[in-house]
Each structure stands twice: as C-alpha cells, then as structure tokens.
Amino acid sequence: MIFLEPKRRYWTREPLELPVRTGPFGTAAVRREGSDATLVAYGPSVDVALEAAHLAAAEGRDVEVLDLRALVPLDDDALAASVRRTGRCLVVHEAQGYAGVGAEIAARVQERCFDALRAPVLRVTGFDIPYPPPLLEDAHLPDVRRVLDGLHRLLPATSASPAAARRTDGTPAATGEAITGRTFLLPDLGEGLAEAEVLEWKVAVGDPVEHDQVVAEVETAKSVVTLPSPYTGTVTALHCRAGAVVEVGAPLLTVGEESAASGAVLTGYGTSGRRTLRQPPRPACAGTARTTGAAHDRDTDQPLLSVTRAPLRPVAEKFVRGRRDTPAVTIWADTEADSLLAARATLGTGLMPLLARACLGALAAFPELNSRVDTDRQEVVRLPQVHLGFAAPTTAWWSRSSGTPPVSASTTSPLNCGD
C-alpha cells in the first residue's frame, strides 16, 4: 500500500469529533453538494476545490465537490453518480497534467457518463515541468483562481443555478436573481502582505466598468493602493463594505462580463499603463525620439523638465505578454549592510537619505525604470523627475498588528527630486 501524505497538510486545522469513524477503504465522499458541476479532487486539492466552490456560489454557480480519498481502488460508482447529477466535471490535482491521474479520471467519466455530459471534462493540474523550488511552489500548484477559471470555461454564464443565488455572506442578491459573472479576488499585493482594508469603493452595483478601470482603493501595512478591474462589464455584487479588512484571495466584487477581453491584475495598477499618479501632458508633435515642451507643476507652479520619448522595441510585446501570463513571485533575499551602517556613522545621517540616494543613483543609471509606456503611440516615456516614497509603519498599522503603537512613526511621503 502507498499512502500519500502531503506536507502542506501538517499545518491545517479543523474541528474534529471523537471518536473518528472513516468509511470503507476505496470509497469517495461528497464534501459539498451541488447541481451545476462536479469538482473532483483528492488530498490537499480538496480544500482548494471547496474554497473555489464557495466563491463560485457568489457568482450563482452551485458546484459539488467530490473527495476521492483513494485512487486505487477508485470509486467509479460515486464518481459517475455525481457527474450524472451535474452533467459537468472538472478534475483538480497537484501532479502534472500529462499522463497524470486526472487523465485516467477524465477517461472513466467519458466512458461511463458520455450521454449525461453537457460539456467536455476539464482538468486543472500542476504544470508539466520538474517540481519547482519552494519559492515557486505556490505558482506551480493549482490555486483557487485557476480552479475558478476552469469553472468559467466549464459553465456558461447562463447556466447559473437559482439555488446558488446568494452572496458569500448568505444574503440574497439585490436583484433577486442569481449573481452571474466573474469574481475579482483581492490580488497578492507583494512583500508578504496577507490582507488589506477597503478604504473606498469607486463603483456600485449596476455600474458599468471597463478593463483596468479603478474599482476600489485599499490600504495595506505598506501603502494605499488602487485596484483596477480585470474584467469589462457591469458590477453585479460587492462582497464587502468599505472599511472591511479582507484577506488576499477573498472576493471583492463580481462583474457580469459583456466581452471576452480581460487581463491579468498587476500589483498596484492596471495593465493599460493608466495610473492614479499625475502624469505630464502628452505632446502633439510627431517623431522618433523627442522631448516635450516645458510644462508647469500643478502644485508648485515650477517648470518641469522635458519628457523624453522613444519608440518601443519589437521585443516589448513579448515582455508585456510574458508579464501577463507569468505568475508573479515575491522573493526575499538577505544582504550584507555593514557598509551602509558605516556610511551612516561617517556621514552622521539616517538610513533613509542613504537609501534615497542609492535609489536615485540607480534610476539615473537605468532611466527606463523611471518610465511609463504609452501603448497608444507604442512609445516609452522617460520621466525627468522622480517621485520617491518610502513606506514606514504608521500608528494605525501598529495598533492593528501589535496593539501597541511605536514611540514615533512616520507616514509615507513623496520625495520630489530632479536630475
């Protein structure tokens, strides 16, 4: 006998009633009943499937979760019975897709339930690559977002079940109908941040939204961030109120899509280059590489330095596509800082000015990092000024995280520097 013991299960906690009684060996268990589709999973993928089914319910999709519990022998009867009830099947497992156990499950479903299937059997699996190192493990394994994408492919928007027409907090939908569409989950905001507070909603239920339109403003322990919509359509539900603290991966709002155009959510801003920061006006002149005329700062009425424009290279489209399709990964690295501390003692200054000087020196050496992309003109816009900000713990953050504010705390403020 081979017993699969995923290490990720070591840290999970759940209520348990004693004495524990298990079913006969080789039998599957329905962890969540549903009528629109069947999620088939085993091991740690069961929790992922359950969370995805819970979020799908906010979109009006009633999804059943079947825990196989054993692969050999496989409970064909329970598998066939579940798929025949729902008419759709999505297999989720952590192993690679090619020649994985999901292929065998899909084949058995096709053989036994072909006449009852309303859609092809789909799979959400690990990638067909060697198992990655720990830092890339989360990007490799199937997560809730990938399972939801699989359900969206499996279930058309019109097939939502009235039984699931409830929000995640259990209250009925405002329209009295099932909430259909795509659910926007709070993205990973980087640097190990696990939650954010919704400061303000920029949209309401019934409002039309476009791809990359700002829909909410949230505050993390580091900064205030605006969130763009990855979908185009109409807002059908807001899943939390302003002032609520939500965890990464929790649902924010649901959008009923009007077109298939949607993109990946990047950290802090959208994929179209539109940001909430004030940008210099675009020039009306034409040319290959050029600079704009002098403009004035709205706050200080001081003349701004000229903006340099350069045409995008052909390889830029590959970078954009790679950034959209490649999972974002945060890597922590330790570095030796003795020389920095020695410079602080020698110059008699704090660490903040030294870090600011290092950042400005790097931007001077690599001006492309202080640029934005004008997708309409296919140009790189190199900005002549640097707006540099450092995140520092505020009193509100300390009181929320540790209960005791520090003796002194500064807030993030921009450092406006010219060349």
Q: What is the pLDDT of residue 251?
A: 86
Which of 23-37, 201-215, 315-329, 360-374 is the least confident region? 315-329
Same domain, 118 and 245: no
Same domain, 117 and 185: no
Q: What is the pLDDT of residue 301?
A: 57
- Checking if the pLDDT of 407 tops 60, the result is no
Q: What is the pLDDT of residue 376?
A: 72
Same domain, 236 and 371: no
The sheet with strand 182-185 has its strands ordered as: 182-185, 251-257, 233-238, 208-209
Q: Say if 281 falls within a structural domain.
A: no
Q: Say if 210 falls within a structural domain.
A: yes
- Checking if the pLDDT of 171 tops 50, the result is no
Same domain, 160 and 34: yes
Largest interatomic CA distance in the chain: 80
Rounded CA-CA distance 33/38 in Å is: 9
SS3 353: helix
pTM > 0.85: no
Q: Would you state the torsion angle of the CA atoms of residues 193, 198, 202, 208, taken in this order, to the nearest 10 degrees?
A: 80
- State percent of the chain over pLDDT 70: 70
Mean pLDDT value across residues 260-277: 37
Joined together, the tokens standing for residue 391 give 């995140």
Same domain, 264 and 351: no
Give residue 240's identity as a one-letter amino acid code. Answer: C
Same domain, 104 and 85: yes
Q: Say if 285 falls within a structural domain.
A: no
Same domain, 247 and 364: no
b/e string for 363-392 if b means 16 or more Cβ within 10 A?
A: beeeeeebbbbeeeeebbbbbbebebebee
CATH code, domain carrying 6: 3.40.50.920
Q: What is the pLDDT of residue 208?
A: 93
Same domain, 164 and 198: no
SS3 117: coil
pLDDT tens readout for residues 221-231: 767 888 988 88
Same domain, 379 and 326: yes
Q: What is the pLDDT of residue 272?
A: 36
314, burial (CB in 10 Å: exposed 0-12, middle 13-18, buried 19+): exposed
Same domain, 5 and 150: yes
- Among residues 184, 106, 198, 113, the alpha carbon closest in space to that of 145 is found at 184
Rounded CA-CA distance 218/80 in Å is: 45
Joined together, the tokens standing for residue 80 give 């066939």
Q: Say if 305 falls within a structural domain.
A: yes
Mean pLDDT value across residues 135-159: 84
Q: Would you state the torsion angle of the CA atoms of residues 51, 57, 63, 65, taken in this order, to the nearest 10 degrees?
A: 20
pLDDT tens readout for residues 68-115: 999 999 999 999 999 999 999 999 999 999 999 999 999 999 999 999
Number of domains, the chain: 3
Same domain, 104 and 172: yes
- Checking if the pLDDT of 287 tops 70, the result is no
Q: What is the mean pLDDT of the chain?
A: 76
Q: Cα dist. 78→45, 46, 50, 54 in Å?
A: 18, 16, 18, 22
H or E segment to which residue 396 belongs: helix 395-401
Q: What is the pLDDT of residue 404?
A: 47
- Checking if the pLDDT of 257 tops 80, the result is no
Q: Cα dist. 29→41, 61, 117, 202 in Å?
A: 10, 21, 21, 43
Same domain, 53 and 162: yes
CATH code, domain carrying 257: 2.40.50.100
**247: domain range?**
181-276
